[in-house]
A and B are shown apart, each in its own frame.
Chain A
Amino acid sequence: MTLSAPSSTRLPTAQRKNYDVCIVGSGAGGGMAAYMLTRAGANVLLLEAGGPWDNTKDSVMLKMPYESPRRGASTTDRPFGEFDACIGGWDLQGEPFTQAEGTEFRWWRARMVGGRTNHWGRISLRFGPDDFKAKSRDGLGDDWPIGYSDLAPYYDRIDKLIGIFGNNDNLRNHPGGYFLPPPPPRCYELMIKDAADRLNVTCIASRLSIITKPHNGRMACHYCGQCNRGCRTNSNFSSTNVLLAPAQQTGRLTLVTHAMAHEVTVNNRGLASGVNYIDTQTGAERHADARVVVLAASACETARLLLNSKSPKFPNGLANSSGVVGKYLTDTTGTDVSGFIPKMVDHVPHNEDGVGGNHIYMPWWIDNKKLDFPRGYHIEVGGGLNPPGYGFMGGIQRYPGGGGYGKSLKEDYRRYYGAQVYFAGRGEMIPNDKSYCEIDPAMKDKYGIPVLRFHWEWTEHEYNQVRHMQQTFRALVDEMGGQVFSAMPDKTKGYGIARGGEIIHELGTTRMGADASKSVVDPNCRAHDVKNLFVTDGGPFVSQADKNPTWTILALAMRTSEFIANERKRGTI
C-alpha cells in the first residue's frame, strides 16, 4: 500500500474547491481525523508542513550500520540517528523558537507526512480512570470534563483497527484492551522480571502497537527491532500507511505537502472559513477554504497557529477568549540509569532483536499517598545485544577491565558486549502556571511567521518523582547483581531529570474544559469560541498521566471526528 502526495503543492484556482474539512497536520491526530472523516463522506484537505515520506518505500529497515561510513550516527535532520524515520528535530533551520530568560525547553518538530508516528516508540497505553480525575484524588491540576468510560469505546475500536499486543493484567488504573499476543521477553528482560518481582515492582507484558499476527491486511512483525526506522512491511502503527492510505482510497482525501499553515481565517459570522498557508517550496501564500477546520499540528504548533490567527473579532488569537491558549504546557518527566550485569558477560550468541521496543515494562505500582510526590511513572527497559553501530560500548573504562588497550581490551569488548541493561522512567508532570508558550514579540521564522517563546519550570513534584525513579532503577540494577555506570545525580542536577520537551510529549496548550472561561475546547474538542473549529492533537489534554499520550490522542481524535460527522449530518456546522 502506497501513498503518493501530489507532485506540486499548488492548488490552481480553477481546481480549488471548498472542502468540507481542512485538517492541519498528518500525524496521529490528523491521520485519525482524515481516516474517520473521509469514511464519513467528507471531502478532506490535509495540510502537512513537511514533505512526503512512505515507510513502505523510504525506510532503511535492515540496513546495517557498516553500510554507511557514518555507522548510524545522528545528523542535523535525524537527531536520533541517520536511519531514524523522523525528519525534523529540536532545531530546524530557519524555524527557531525562543525561551524566556532562565528557562529551558526543547521543542521537537517533525516535518513529514505522518509526523512523529514514523519513528515513535509505539508504546500504546490507555489512560486509566484515575488519570482523568486526578484533581479529585490529590487536589492538584484539574480533572478532565470527560472520564474513562467516555473514551473506552474508542480505545477499543483503535485497538482493533490499528492492532496492539499486550495482556489483560487486571491492574488498577491500567486498563487492558483487545490485544494480539505479546512477544515473550528477551533474556535480559527475564532477569529484569525476576529482579522486579523480588522488589515488588509490577512488571508485565508491554503494550505496543506492533502487530504480532497479520492484521487488517498488514503483515505480522518480523522482529528486526527497527520500528523507529519505519516499517517496510507496515507491521507497526504509522499514520501514513495505517490511516492516511485507507483515507486516500476513499477518493476524498487531498493531501498537500510542504504546506506550512500560519492562520485560521474567519468569516464575518466569526466562524472558521479556512486556512492560510505557505507553500514552503516557493514561498507563495495560499488559502484553502473549508466548512470545518481541524487542527492537529501538535500541541505547541496548534497553539502557535491559534495565537497567530488574530482578527478584529479575535484580537488575542482565535479560540482564545479565555486566554488559555498556550498555557498549561506539560511534557513527560524522564530520567534513566544503565548498568553492567556481570551475569550477562560471555553472552550466548543469538538474535535478540525482537520487536522495536521493550517486551516488558513496569506500569506505576505504588500508592502516592505513601510518597513525597503526587503522581506516578512507568519504567521502560533496554539492553542486550543491540546492532553494533555508532557509540558502540562507549565508556569501556567503566567496565571491570577499567579501560586499557590491546588484545585484552579487544577480548573485554567481546565478553562485555550485551552485558548491560538500562531503565528509563516516564512520569506525570502536573500542569503549572509557569510552564507555557506564547508568541515571541519580535522573532519570526524564515516564512515570516511569528515564533513561539517558551516558559518552563519543573516543581518539587517532578523533582521528587525523578529522584524516586533514580533510586528504583539503581535498586533494580543492584538486585540483578549489577553495577550502575554513573553516580546518583544530586539535587543541583535535578536528580537527572530530562529537560522540558526532551521526552517529546508536549500536551495541554489548548486544554479541554466545561467552563469556556477556563479552557479552549469543550469536551468534544471543539473550540468554545468557534463552533466549526476542532483540535485533535495533544493540545486538549488536561493532564499528562504516566502513560504515553498517542493512544489517547487517537481515541480523542476518533471521538471528535465522529462528533464532527454527526454535527454535519444534523446541519449544525
Chain B
Amino acid sequence: MTISHDDGLEKGAVPEHATNKEEQGLNKDISRRDAVQVLAALPLAAFLSWPTAEQEKVRNYVDGALRRAVEGNAYAPKFFTTAEFQTVRVLADMIIPRDERSGNASDAGVPEFMDFTMTDRPNSQKWMRDGLAWIDAQSRSRFGKPFADAAQSQREAILNDIAWPSRASASMADGVSFFNRFRDLTATGFWSSQVGVKDLRYQGSTFAPNWNGCPPAALKKLGVSYAKFDRSKLRLNPD
C-alpha cells in the first residue's frame, strides 16, 4: 500500500509507507509509466544544458579544472596568493577533517571552491583576505610564524579562541566573525560536494514516480502519524 496520488485515494486508506515498489508500478496508468521511462532514458546531457552565458562561464571553469586534473597540473588559484591558499587549505581541513565516513575538505575540493567563490562573489574578498591576515597575525604574535607553518597544537590554540563564539573573549571578535564565515563557506563547499552529499545520505533531487511521505521509522522517531490526513476523507470538489 502506498500513499501515492494514484491509488491512495481510491482505496481510501490511511497512508502507510510503501513497501513494494514493484506492486505499486502495476497500478500506474500506462501512459505515465511510459512517460517516466522516456524521461529516464533521456541522455544525461539533456539535464546538463546550460542556457545562459553566465552558466557557460561556469561550464568552462569545470572543464578547465577537470582538464588540469587529468594533466596532473596543480590548481593555480585565481584570487588567493599561494600562501593564502595554503592557509585556506589548512583551515578548511581543520574544520572538516577526514573520518571513517568521508574525506576532508581538501578531498572534496573546498579550497578550489573557495577560490572560485571569491572571484564569483567579489564582495566576499575583503572579509576573506582580512580574516586570513588576522589568523596569520595571531600566529606570528603568539608563535613567531604564519598559521600554515605553525604546529598543529599551536593552530588549535588559535581556533580554540575563536571557534565557539559564545565563550570567545571580546578581544577575539574579529577572529570570531571571520571564522564563522569561513566555517560556513567550508561547510557549503564540503557538504554540497559529491563527497558531502553522499556522506549526508541525501536521497532527493530525483525523478520519483510516487510521493512516499514520511517513512515509518521517522514517524515513530518523531511521534507523528498520518491519522489526521485520512485520504478517504478528502473532498476534491466543492459541493
Which residues on A are within 8 Å of B, measured CB to CB?
53, 57-58, 60-73, 75-78, 82, 87, 167-169, 175-188, 190-191, 193-194, 197, 205, 212-214, 219-226, 232-233, 343-344, 346-355, 385, 387-397, 402-407, 409-411, 413-414, 417
Q: With A232-B39, A395-B180 given, name 18 new contacts (CB 8 A).
A: A58-B51, A60-B49, A64-B197, A67-B48, A69-B112, A70-B58, A73-B121, A77-B54, A178-B238, A184-B213, A185-B213, A223-B208, A349-B201, A385-B204, A388-B202, A396-B184, A403-B164, A409-B96
Inter-chain CA distance A403–B164, complex, in Å, is 5
Which of B131-139, B142-150, B187-195 forms part of the interface with chain A?
Answer: B187-195
Does residue B36 face the partner (Cβ distance < 8 Å to A)?
Answer: yes
Inter-chain CA distance A387–B73, complex, in Å, is 32
Are A350's CB and B203's CB within 8 A?
A: yes
On chain A, the residues within 8 Å of B235 by CB distance are: 167-169, 176
Are B5's CB and A181's CB within 8 A?
A: yes
Are A348's CB and B215's CB within 8 A?
A: yes
Inter-chain CA distance A393–B50, complex, in Å, is 27
Inter-chain CA distance A183–B231, complex, in Å, is 10
**Selected contact of A69 from candidates B61, B200, B201, CB within 8 Å:** B61
Does residue B163 face the partner (Cβ distance < 8 Å to A)?
Answer: yes
On chain A, the residues within 8 Å of B117 by CB distance are: 70, 73
**Selected contact of B5 from candidates A70, A213, A352, A395, CB within 8 Å:** A213
Residue in chain A with minimal CB distance to B159: A405
Tell me the interface secondary structure of chain A in the complex.
Answer: loop
Which has the most chain B C-beta neighbours within 10 Å: A349, A405, A407, A417?
Answer: A405
Asked if A66 meets B197 with Cβ closer than 8 Å, knowing A168-B238, A190-B224, the reply is yes
On chain B, the residues within 8 Å of A187 by CB distance are: 214, 218-219, 222, 224
Asked if A225 meets B231 with Cβ closer than 8 Å, knowing A176-B238, A396-B183, A405-B163, the reply is no
Smallest Cβ distance from B217 to chain A, in angstroms?
Answer: 5
Are A190's CB and B226's CB within 8 A?
A: yes
On chain B, the residues within 8 Å of A397 by CB distance are: 164-166, 180, 183
Which has the most chain B C-beta neighbours within 10 Å: A69, A87, A222?
Answer: A69
Asked if A213 meets B222 with Cβ closer than 8 Å, knowing A75-B54, A184-B15, A385-B202, the reply is no
Smallest Cβ distance from A381 to chain B, in angstroms?
Answer: 14
Which residues from 205 to 239 on chain B have a C-beta closer than 8 Å to any C-beta of chain A? 205-215, 217-219, 221-226, 228-229, 231, 234-239
Inter-chain CA distance A509–B110, complex, in Å, is 48
Enumerate 5 A-B pairs (CB-CB under 8 Å) in ascending A order: A185-B226, A219-B32, A402-B165, A404-B164, A410-B96
Residue in chain B with minimal CB distance to A54: B51
On chain A, the residues within 8 Å of B79 by CB distance are: none
Are A186's CB and B61's CB within 8 A?
A: no
On chain A, the residues within 8 Å of B128 by CB distance are: none
Are A406's CB and B95's CB within 8 A?
A: yes
Which has the most chain A C-beta neighbours within 10 Å: B39, B94, B194, B200?
Answer: B200
Does residue B1 face the partner (Cβ distance < 8 Å to A)?
Answer: no
Are A214's CB and B31's CB within 8 A?
A: yes
On chain A, the residues within 8 Å of B231 by CB distance are: 181, 184
Are B197's CB and A388's CB within 8 A?
A: yes
Smallest Cβ distance from A402 to chain B, in angstroms?
Answer: 5
Smallest Cβ distance from A495 to chain B, in angstroms?
Answer: 25
Are A62's CB and B47's CB within 8 A?
A: yes
Inter-chain CA distance A21–B7, complex, in Å, is 45
Which has the most chain A C-beta neighbours within 10 Å: B62, B99, B101, B228?
Answer: B228
Residue in chain A with minimal CB distance to B217: A348
On chain A, the residues within 8 Å of B51 by CB distance are: 53, 58
Does residue B167 face the partner (Cβ distance < 8 Å to A)?
Answer: yes
Which has the most chain B C-beta neighbours within 10 Å: A223, A224, A347, A411?
Answer: A223
On chain A, the residues within 8 Å of B238 by CB distance are: 168, 175-178
Inter-chain CA distance A348–B200, complex, in Å, is 11
Smallest Cβ distance from A197 to chain B, in angstroms?
Answer: 8
Smallest Cβ distance from B176 to chain A, in angstroms?
Answer: 9
Are A179's CB and B236's CB within 8 A?
A: yes
Q: What 3 pairs between A and B have smallest CB-CB spacing? A: A190-B224, A349-B201, A187-B214
Does residue B70 face the partner (Cβ distance < 8 Å to A)?
Answer: no
**Selected contact of B187 from candidates A69, A348, A394, CB within 8 Å:** A394
On chain A, the residues within 8 Å of B236 by CB distance are: 167-168, 178-181
Inter-chain CA distance A261–B128, complex, in Å, is 44
Are A390's CB and B188's CB within 8 A?
A: yes
Residue in chain A with minimal CB distance to B53: A77
On chain B, the residues within 8 Å of A225 by CB distance are: 204-205
Residue in chain A with minimal CB distance to B234: A167
**Selected contact of A351 from candidates B62, B97, B192, B208, CB within 8 Å:** B208
Residue in chain A with minimal CB distance to B108: A66
Residue in chain B with minimal CB distance to A349: B201
Does residue B26 face the partner (Cβ distance < 8 Å to A)?
Answer: no
Are B208's CB and A224's CB within 8 A?
A: yes
Does residue B6 face the partner (Cβ distance < 8 Å to A)?
Answer: yes
Are B197's CB and A78's CB within 8 A?
A: no
Inter-chain CA distance A323–B218, complex, in Å, is 59
Does residue B8 face the partner (Cβ distance < 8 Å to A)?
Answer: yes
